[in-house]
Amino acid sequence: MLLRTSYILTSTSLYDLVCQEMKDVIMHMLWGCLTAAVGFFMVICASTKSEFIIYRLMVARSRILWGEKVHRFLQISGAMVMVFGALVALGYI
């Protein structure tokens, strides 16, 4: 009787472990894709020198340090954010 009970508990624990792993994988993919999308937004807006309000706020904050090279800075940092998001989505980070 003790063996059966421990087997049932072990199989239930294994099921819970697998479900938790699947949830973790899905969350990594979700947050990684969202992060990569933000990086893509930064690259596109910096390339076109967009007048979108969120991008203008980022430019205003970055211009203090980077001056006229602000759009190049935001392109490079956007590319870095895209790479980071891809690594998170793939599960490397």
Q: How high is the mean pLDDT of the chain?
A: 88
**What is the pLDDT at residue 31?**
96
CA dist., res. 93 & res. 90, Å (int): 8
**What is the pLDDT at residue 12?**
62
Contact 71, 59 (CB under 8 A): yes
Residue 20 reports pLDDT greater than 50: yes
Give tens-digit pLDDT for 25-53.
899 999 999 999 999 999 999 999 999 99
93 SS3 class: coil
Domain-wise residue ranges, the chain: 23-90
Q: Which run of H or E residues covers position 81?
A: helix 70-90
